[in-house]
Each structure stands twice: as structure tokens, then as C-alpha cells.
Amino acid sequence: MPLLVMKFGGTSVADLDRIANAAKKVQREVERGYDVIVIVSAMSGKTNELVGWVEGTSKLYDAREYDAVVASGENVTAGLMALRLQEMGVPARSWQGWQVPINTTSAHGAARFVSIPRENLDAKFAEGFRVAVVAGFQGLSPEGRVTTLGRGGSDTTAVAFAAAFGAERCDIYTDVDGVYTTDPRVSSKARKLDKIAFEEMLELASLGAKVLQTRSVELAMRYKVRLRVLSSFEDTDENSGTLVCDEEEIMESKVVNGVAFSREEAKITLFTIEDRPGVAQAIFGPLADAGVNVDMIVQNISEKDYDEHHSGAVTDMTFSCPIGQVERAKKALEEALARGEIKYDELIIDTDVAKVSVVGIGMRSHAGVAARTFRALAAENINIKVIATSEIKISVLIDRKYLELAVQALHDAFELEKA
């Protein structure tokens, strides 16, 4: 029989009524002739509760015990989902990560997939079971310990199973009915997309769109797993939601397909650093060692070429990072200065910025996207602080107070409300 993977997030299984609603969607696919692997998250709020219990018990906790506790939320949901399906007459069985087994690395709290053997689940399907309900977010280390995959790991679990079992499709059920051209809460003109390419979805996910977890999109793109984003709270059919697929499945793509944004950004500038080979490594090496995720980078010509402190040419370096990593970045740079690895006159931090990005695979074959982007922002008198580009995106850093205005201006400039 053809196989389908269905994933239900925390809000989709938040209580017994919602689990029953999700089970009806699974039953419908079984009636259509599919064997189904269901991946479930913990019930909404439970993971945070479990994390709180761990932190309330031990501030310097053992990561292995953290995983043992936090992974239990998904186990509960899997068992309840299997019970509900059985009550509905659907042959179903629940599986914890170690029972499949979902083999991962030993990086507790941030494990990566190694392999998912098919034998155990295939044997159950051969016995007549139609649904395997698998606890997401978790796996088994080489040492035989439970591991977790990091937040959003259930999305990645679903894609990994779809790849391992050659599923026809992987349906991600969530609290939105698809992928939109931008956040509908920011722009009333936001339009739901019928299809979007893997590369576009990966950029949108990494740039702030929270519909899909970035790792899950990376995995789907690598193994060509067709994803569909659907609402758990609406009646759906084969044409519902948004299909995330290979570019070849999209007949004609718009130049820009979406506007993404992130409020949680900070801009850090180092003034009058030495302009010499290796200075970038001296700056960004310590930041990497400190776990700072650097994004946009600009090197400027300093206003002064030299002074009594600098015998040669000098420059300024600006970069952005998540606002939650600012203190870590500041400490790493100050320690590098104290060690004499880098020299700078001043370190300025701006935490009142936001990042806005336009994304579209059509940029590859169309000129003028940058000009239209900058023209739209200039028309609203929005100053650009930093610019970064790739083959299919243009990102700008602006004052946070202009974020909503910038999103709406760009959405209008590229006429994204039109199909």
C-alpha cells in the first residue's frame, strides 16, 4: 500500500478533543488506502512544563537525564493517539524513539539523525496494522540513551521518516492553513501560496517564518520529500494547504514569493580595527567559539586612515546577530581585545533593529529586484543600515519601529497579493 507520513504539532494535540480531531484525519487517509506513520509532538505547553521541572530540580543538570524527562511528553501523546485510533476501529500501535529505533548521535538536547531502520515498522504493517504512531523529537544514542533533537524536532522526525520509508508525501498539520506571502498579522494582504520551492521555504524558515523548522526543510530538500502544510482545525482535501516541493514542480514562479522578517536582531559595530589579512578571522573566530550566530556582515572604510594608536590603514566592521546572543558576543570580543588578538577603538551595540527579507527563486532570472526593494523602502523614508544578498534573497537591517511599514511596502511593491 502507498505510505503517508502525517505530523501533528503541539496545538493540534493539545487536549483529548484535539487528539480525537487529529485521529479523524488519520482515519480518513487510511480509508483512502494509505498506511500511515503519524509523528506527534507533546501536548501544547507540556515540553515547557517538563523543562521547568528539570531546571527547578537541578540548575546544572545532566543532559542525559534532561532528555529522559523532556522526551516523555511525546510518549504520552503517542499512546493517547494510538488508543483513540483503536477506539475508532483503526489498527494502530504507538512507538517510542528507542523502539523503532530512531538512531541518532550522542549530542543530548541537539541530536542528529543517523539512521531509521524499517524492519520493525514494516513487520507491523505486514501483520495488518495500518497506523504507526511515533513519538517525535526523540531518538536513541549509540550508548542506548534517549536523546532529543532540539526544539521543532518533530518536524524533522516526520521528514526523516518520509525519506526513510519512501512516503508519497509528508503532511505537517499545524495551527495555520499553509505558507503565506508574509505574516497575515502584519499585512492584511498576505496570500496563501499553493506551492513553494524548497529553497524559498528554507530561506523563509531561516529568516524568521515559523511555519516549518529549518532543519526539516533542509532534510526535505536533500531527499526530495514533498511536504504539505495544513491546518489541523479545518476540513481539508487533496488541494488544501501549501505544497513545499522541488522547483521543477512549479510551472512559473513569481520573482518574489515572500517577505520574511525577524524582530529579534541586533547590530554590532567595531570601530577602527586594523585593515590587514586575518583580521576577520580574529573577530569572527572568537564569536564562533562563543556560539554566536553571525548573520549580515559589512566592512566599511573608516573615516580616518591612521592615528597615534594605529600605524597602518584601519576599517570598521559591522555585523548582526540574534538579540539574545548580544552579551555573549560582547564578552567574546572584549576578551579577544584583552588577549591582544584584535584591536578596536569602540564597540557599539544597537538592539533596536529588525531584519526584513524578500525571497524568490525568480530572482535568478530577473534583474531589478534590488532596485525595486530599495525604491519601496526609500518611498517610505526607511533608512537601510545593512544589506545582505544571496541568489534568491535580499535582506536589509532597519530600525525596528519601521518593521511593519517595511513589510507592507515590500509586499505591495512586488504585488504579492496577486496569484
Residues contributing to the annotated binding site for substrate: 47, 74
Annotated binding site for ATP: 7-10, 174-175, 180, 185, 210-211
User: Judging by DSSP bridges, how do beta strands 35-40 and 131-135 pair with one another?
Assistant: parallel
* Residues in binding site: 7-10, 47, 74, 174-175, 180, 185, 210-211
- Hey, what amino acid is at 239? N
Chain centroid to Cα 215, Å, comes to 6
**Sign for the pseudo-dihedral over CA of 102, 105, 110, 113:** negative
How many Å from the N-terminal Cα to the C-terminal Cα in the chain?
36
* Nearest alpha carbon to residue 39 among 141, 152, 204: 152
Residue whose cell numbers read 479545518: 234
Which of 22, 16, 229 is closest to 133 using CA atoms?
22
Strands (E), 125-257: 131-135, 138-140, 146-148, 169-174, 195-197, 227-231, 242-245
Is residue 93 helix, strand or coil?
strand
Dig out the grid coordinates for 274 from the structure.
Answer: 586594523
Q: Which three cell numbers stand for residue 113?
A: 539523525
- Measured in degrees and rounded to the nearest 5, phi and psi for residue 118 equal -90, -15
